[in-house]
Amino acid sequence: MRIEAIGCEPLQLRRVHLENSRSLDVYRRNGGYEAIKKVLDGMSPDDVINEVKKSALRGRGGAGFPTGMKWSFVPKDSPKPKYVVCNADESEPGTFKDRYLMERDPHMLIEGILIAAYALTSKVSYIYTRGEYKYLIDIMDVAIEEARAAGLVGKNILGTDFSCEIYTHTGAGAYICGEETALLSSLEGLRGHPRMKPPFPAVSGLYACPTVVNNVETLTAVPDIIKMGGEAYQKLGTEKSGGTKVWSVSGHINSPGVYELPMGYDDMEKFIMEDCGGILDGKKMKAVIPGGSSVYIMRADQIMGKDVRMDYEGLVAAGSSVGSGGFIVMDETVDVFESTKNLTEFYKHESCGWCTPCREGTDWLVKVFKRIESGGGRPEDAQLMLDLCDNIEGKSFCPLGDAAAWPIQSAIKRFPEDFKKRLVNHGSDGSN
């Protein structure tokens, strides 16, 4: 499985192939912990936030919210303790980039957290890691202890009066806990149900204190932003989507893996057919889900010859979204009905059950899929499914409802043949 940068110098993937890439020594010898030194050496928390704002870094977990703006929402004069929480609950189908970032370069995440904690005057940070990634928690624990021994984590970091504790915390198998407020509920020891916004976590989050929740890849981008400056980082990408993005490529592709691309890499077709080796076994491409299962599925003819630009605005214009960057390629052997059923079952298993439309809606949709699959499809089913999706989308308590509806809506609209062929009338004489 490949891990490499395409179309730019590797930033986040700079050290992944080095021997002992996890060790503090290797990290330091390859540009590590320079950024935190620079920060502690004369930048104020506001300076740090401004650099991140200039960088046009957007949340890499899937929502794409401008990171600098999120950080600036934390009320500086609040007497409550502030928390930085790293969202390592990577569970979006098709996404596995955080796994390798943590596995190969844990210190990069630690440095990113330290800088964020400094910027937000936070003294405690938690890395909420999905329970299945237990081996990564062990890796992070070792790295944190290494850093502590070198005076980089804990009290008086690098001899200054900046102190920051970093703890790992385990999830236990719930995709919903990747949603930031559900993550906070889970971290507080409750059931992982999302919470009402407002109040936003930046004002009232973990233990009702100001909290910033950021994805792993967002935090690992921070050291480079400090080192090269926000503007330089932004210039690597596009005006509204600065820097580089790490994509996770899988499916019917010859070279699946983790790829770092500059934001705005302007040829998705080239990316698939050349950079990632093209379709497995020389088959034809049929569909691509570029940003994790929750984004609209794309037809091949929406990509081929279309110069799709791979950044937030470009993908939206092309009819999908960057999302988490979980890039799933499907060839002509895939029945989109089945692939959509597979994803709907995912959302039904993972629905937290809090709100009516998502809980009942995903359950109903799975049952409709099952009925159609076993031969009981009716012509009105396509409209029924679209209508149910319409009743879920925008009406659920959190975005998981929307995420469950979008794959189905886009699949039915863009691959109607795969659905229509199953939705025939069963006359009483057995005729179609």
Instruction: Please identify, among the stretches 13-21, 51-59, 341-349, 423-431, the one whose residues bind another protein according to the rule CB under 8 A.
Output: 341-349
Phi, psi of 148 (to 5 degrees): -60, -45
Taking the complex as a whole, the smallest distance from the CB of residue 84 to another protein amounts, in Å, to: 14
- Strands (DSSP E) contained in 82-180 are 83-88, 124-129, 165-170
Q: How many CB atoms lie within 10 A of CB 42?
A: 7
Q: Which of 123, 39, 53 is nearest to 81 (CA)?
A: 123
Q: Evaluate whether 214 touches 84 at the Cβ level (below 8 Å).
A: yes
Of residues 221 through 280, those in contact with another protein by CB under 8 A are 248-252, 256-258
CA dihedral over 208, 353, 135, 104, signed as positive or negative: negative
Of residues 101 through 140, those in contact with another protein by CB under 8 A are 126, 130-135
Of residues 9 through 38, those in contact with another protein by CB under 8 A are none
Taking the complex as a whole, the smallest distance from the CB of residue 335 to another protein amounts, in Å, to: 10
191 scored as a contact of another protein (CB under 8 A): yes
β-bridge partners, 354: none
Instruction: Please identify, among the stretches 13-21, 171-179, 260-268, 312-320, the one whose residues bind another protein according to the rule CB under 8 A.
Output: 171-179
How far apart are the two ends of the chain, measured CA to CA in Å? 46
371 scored as a contact of another protein (CB under 8 A): yes
51 scored as a contact of another protein (CB under 8 A): no
Binders of another protein: how many residues, by CB under 8 A? 81
Query: Per the omega criterion (within 30 degrees of 0), is the bond before 199 cis?
Result: yes
189 scored as a contact of another protein (CB under 8 A): yes
Tokens of 279: 């379709």
Q: How many CB atoms lie within 10 A of CB 76?
A: 11
Query: Among 98, 111, 146, 311, which residue sits at the site for another protein (rule: CB under 8 A)?
Result: 98
The CA distance from 287 to 309, in Å, is 17
Instruction: Please identify, among the stretches 105-113, 152-160, 344-352, 413-421, the one whose residues bind another protein according to the rule CB under 8 A.
Output: 344-352
Query: Among 27, 118, 312, 354, which residue sits at the site for another protein (rule: CB under 8 A)?
Result: 354
What x-and-dash track marks residues 375-404 binding another protein by CB under 8 A? ---------x-----xx--xxxx-------
Cα–Cα–Cα angle for 31, 228, 218, nearest 5°?
A: 80
82 scored as a contact of another protein (CB under 8 A): no
Taking the complex as a whole, the smallest distance from the CB of residue 267 to another protein amounts, in Å, to: 22
Residue 328 is which amino acid? I
Query: Among 363, 414, 420, 422, which residue sits at the site for another protein (rule: CB under 8 A)?
Result: 363
Taking the complex as a whole, the smallest distance from the CB of residue 381 to another protein amounts, in Å, to: 10
- Radius of gyration in angstroms for the set of CA atoms belonging to the chain, rounded to a whole number: 22
187 scored as a contact of another protein (CB under 8 A): yes
Taking the complex as a whole, the smallest distance from the CB of residue 277 to another protein amounts, in Å, to: 12
